[in-house]
Structure 1
Amino acid sequence: MRKTASGLCLALVCAGLASCSKGGANACSVTPNGKFGSPVTVTVDCPKGAGRLTRETVLEGKGNRIVDGQTVLMRATSFDSRNGEIIKAYNTGELRLAAVTKKGMGDLAKRLVGVREGSRLVIKRPGLVEGVPTASEIIVVDLLFTVAHGKAVPVPNPAPSGMPQVGTADGGGPSIKSPGGAIPSLETVPLVVGNGPQVTEGQTLAVQYALFDQNGKSVDETWTKGAPVALNLKTAMKGLSEGLVDQKIGSRVVVLVPSAKAQGTGDRVVVVDILGALPDPPEGKGSPSSGGKRGRKGETASPGQTPSQTSSPSGAATPSKPPAAKTAPTKSTPTGGKGGGRGPGAKRSS
């Protein structure tokens, strides 16, 4: 009996030591630092690197669940597990729009399906540097909301001239229950007030929108397409650009645009969800997420391939066609450079 007990104790001690080894020296501990949705740093203790690809949810969101193929608004920042430094060879850390597809963001896509908007993830991926097992890629992913996220407020009483009655259509976007008639002057009416910073002149914004004529007929929208877009205020419809300035990120607003500021297309009603402020497109580039240094085989390295989503009018087609500064009543084609490039995990030579 004594021998059996001793053997049992020895077995328990060995098991305990194995457990300590797995959770201690071989652990890959990552702590993100920074407010959700803002630029982040990390505190890393990962001496052996990540043994396998893993995903950890460090903040559980309460927004819509992400589905395969949709466009998300995200901030993905890649770090080197050996020192916690940002991987500068990647186009990383910027707020951007990306399609949840293999083409859009590589194998990161399947790790996002089913996750709720408003979540923060830490993804650990081995193989950052070929032949160096201690070098892993740490990706901190913030998944921002793709609908307005703030406090609902009542429409002013009396409402501005031309203000329609706004309802909710299939797909969660806005609808016009009854038109408001002629629009004599530019007005912006908040329906939901966000808690983000105010929009400034000339910014590029991530938005969802619905465009109506003064009779309440839908001209264009993004909600049923599942694709928020980037709206360049430097080139968008004049009245829309002016009407969004000073509104808060996270808001849903109704912009009443008289014909004179709709560039001759007649009065327009634009319901806009202001989702985030994107980096400006580089000079001569269509997409705010294009660019970055060249990775292996001449491909652009970035944490997730980003399809063109820029909505400044004229250029290559993107998933939808935002209101633009055009004199003809036709819908514009937004600007957009080709997306693509290596997703996170592109191996580096050093």
Structure 2
Amino acid sequence: MSPAWRPSCPDESSYVRRLLAILLPGLLLLTACGGGDKAAPEPTSQSAGETAKLDSLKLTDNGDKKAPGVDFAKPLEVKEFTAKVITEGSGEKLSANQIATVSVAGFNATDGKALGDNFGKDPEQLELSDALKSGNPVMYGVFVGAKVGSQIALVAPGQPATEGTAAQPAQLYIARIMGVKEAPKPLSQDETEQLDKAGKLPKITFDDKGIPSASIPKTDAPSGLSVKVLSEGSGEKVAATDTIEANYTGWRWEDGKEFESTFGKNQPATFPLTGVIKGWTMGLTDQKVGSKVLLTIPSDLAYGADAAAQGKPAGPLVFVVEIKSKK
């Protein structure tokens, strides 16, 4: 059985979702927090790859509700992932750890045929996180420092045929930055402690076999991600891009129903923190190996409003996670 936390998209056949699957290292990325007294340098968008191949690319602006027209010298072939700002916007400049909202149109780079787009629909969200920087530094570099309103060309190389799959031509994507917003942050330690003292966090107990149980209060779930360390380990800290081995149990806040657990099975799960729900990535980053952590996750950092339609646990969720090791 597939673990409950694995991300899935209800419309994975769409070209917009395919773009995200190709370019993003995961759907659930960490919000990192900066610090220090010295101001960070002003970010500058960095084009990269075989950008000269995009010199012939011309865009026809059709407004925010319709994909732009494209014209370029065909075929457009690249050997490495390539990104370039084609037209610069006049809005706010994007910074690290923000969320860009983007509309995307895809094209066959061999013949220019349109593959699909989400213009006129809700833009996709792209988190400019450390996990994206690690997973696709070219994509990260071209978005960080770009301005709202900019149109960015992204070219993914063609893929040769393999057993069971046909060869894929290079694909051209035009991403328009529609807006920017701050990424969500966990509740502070003080806020979590206040909730706990007020009886507004689950109470966790472990039986003699180390299997957790949760008593969930009859109140509204916290509005933000709450992270409480039940017992701190002595191992290394976990990074947002690490793969970890962990035991976990998950409950729905609404009815206290347990929906999945590895405790007691002697089969810890192994997964990358770039491939889980946002609440897991945010809540487990910087925790130490050996720790047991209580995560109380609002629905927008879990499976969202359409969780039930995807066959996922709906609403706010509660997890106890024991970090066994990191890879």
Using structure 1 for the length normalisation, give the TM-score.
0.33
Larger radius of gyration: 1
